[in-house]
Amino acid sequence: MIAGAFATAVAVGTALLSLPAAATAGRSTALLDALFTATSAVCVTGLVVVDTGAHWSTFGELVILGLIQVGGLGIMTLATLFTVLLSQRFGLRARFLAQAETKALELRDIGRLIRRIAAFLLGFEAAVALVLAARLAFGYGEPAGRAAYLGVFHAVAAVNNAGMSPHADSLVRYAVDPWICLTVSAAVIVGGLGFPVVFELARQWRRPRSWSVLTRITLTFSAVLLAGGTVVFAAVEWGNPATFGPFGAGGKVMSGFFASVQTRSAGFNTVDVTALRPESVLATDVLMFIGGGSAGTSGGIKVTTFGLLAYVMWAEMRNEPHVSVGYRRIPAANQRQALTVALLGVGLVVAATFALLGLSAAPLDRVLFEAISAFGTVGLSNGLTAALPPAGQLILVALMFLGRTGPLTVAAALALREHGRRYTLPEERTIVG
């Protein structure tokens, strides 16, 4: 269902973007360019092979905007419905716990749940668009209509973690503007947390002891990664004349925070990505691969997967018999699912990188960066995507599609196939390490 829904949206988007009316030149866009752009929009990635503002007409940009909206709403809805489906699959005790945490258990509540997700997403986008449009109109002298259009486009792209912009330089022109940068960052963070986490916080923000495991892991590790990324980017790029160097101290810190937020899946940039120092490139690779929260619009293996594996390591180092998060014990099956998703992600990135190295003369670091950006549905690029041959671009199309649908599909398949076994085999330990 998940793969079919996204494939259908990509096919419709490709057909619409192939129309002559979708391009400023009034001619049909090449099929591969239309397919790549549609996949990038539906999978809320942001990688492009043509300049969004220069190549696409207003109609084409509106199609892209619609595809981003469909992709973002679709992933939040499907991921949340997956949670409901699991609660129906498991026993009575698990269902009561799920009801207490999600407030949306019964199948008859699905319609109401979808309406709440849509209302939250559209309402938040409208608020972000209003702030951005006002800033563009009063701070940059944009005409009211143009300011409103740019505000809506960037708001939808930010909340859905897409990273596409009508500007050829993304948000470089607003690099030291806190109204633009911090508003876009807030939109990316909230959209990346996921609907279940946002609504649980809205209900129980004063009672952290009652937060679910999902909320605990998502908030804890999101904060750690955001803070760590800010420190790394600010420290490494502080004196780099091609990136943060020309900014004042406040601008450098804000740019470090903005970069830390965007590498988690959004893909906007306020500095030249190709000018980043190697340490920053490595940090970006790591953050892009981890991604954001489950049931959110971000990509990657998800911060919940990364956090759960960190708790598994901590429990093993302390010789604990069980893995616990807060006041809950994590089932062994849940731990295996996290390990499976993480290793499958590593396998996809390695396989794609290997194939791209054979198709491109670019060095490993550039190819790996582009592959992780596609898999993590981030959209940051060092300029390699547009220069790849058609076969390389098709690999990135597949990687974006698998990066968006893969983790959720694999997690759903593993969880829904759980069954009891009436026997156990004799134990035999092997050497580890």
Tens digit of each residue's pLDDT (9 = 90 or more) over 239-265: 999 999 999 999 999 999 999 999 988
pLDDT band at 358 (very low <50, low <70, confident <90, very high): very high
264 assigned to some structural domain: yes
Residue 131 lies inside a defined structural domain of this protein:
yes
**Per the domain annotation, does 433 fall within a domain?**
no
Helices (H), 262-331: 278-290, 303-317
Residue with tokens 């420190």: 231
| pLDDT of the residue at 433 | 74
pLDDT tens digits along 131-156: 999 999 999 999 999 999 999 999 99
Q: Cβ distance 366 to 384 under 8 Å?
A: yes
Asked if residue 144 belongs to a domain, the reply is yes
If you count them, how many residues does the chain have?
433
> How much is the CA Rg of the chain, to the nearest whole Å?
22
- The span from the CA of 303 to the CA of 13, in Å, is 30
Q: DSSP characters for 223-279?
A: HHHHHHHHHHHHHHHTT-TTTTTTS-HHHHHHHHHHHHHIIIII---SS-GGG--HH
Mean pLDDT on 373-397 = 93
What is the rounded CA–CA span in Å between residue 345 and residue 357? 18
Structure tokens at 332: 């062994």
Helices 364-375, 332-359: crossing angle, 10 deg rounding:
130
In the prediction, which pLDDT does 258 show? 96
Nearest to 76 by CA among 165, 154, 5: 5
Q: Does 423 reside within a domain?
A: no
CB 164 within 8 A of CB 157: yes
Tokens of 82: 């997956």
Per-residue model confidence (pLDDT) at position 66: 93
Q: Is residue 91 predicted with pLDDT exceeding 60?
A: no
C-alpha distance from residue 234 to each of 237, 248, 356 (Å): 5, 12, 31
Longest dimension (CA), the chain: 74
| Number of other CB atoms surrounding residue 248 within 10 Å | 10
Asked if the model's pLDDT at residue 278 lies above 70, the reply is yes
Percent of the chain with pLDDT over 70: 89
- With cut-offs at 50, 70 and 90, classify the pLDDT of residue 105: very low
Number of domains in the chain: 1
In this prediction, residue 81 carries a pLDDT of 65
Dist CA 367 CA 373 (whole Å):
10
On whether residue 427 sits in a domain, the answer given is: no
**Token code pair at residue 70:** 């469909």
- Across 5-15, average pLDDT: 92
Give the pTM.
0.88
Question: Could you list the residue range(s) of the whole structural domain that residue 380 is in?
Answer: 2-416
178-226 pLDDT per residue, tens:
999 999 999 999 988 887 788 888 888 888 888 888 889 999 999 999 9
User: Does 33 map to a domain?
Assistant: yes
- Asked whether residue 424 is assigned to any structural domain, the reply reads no
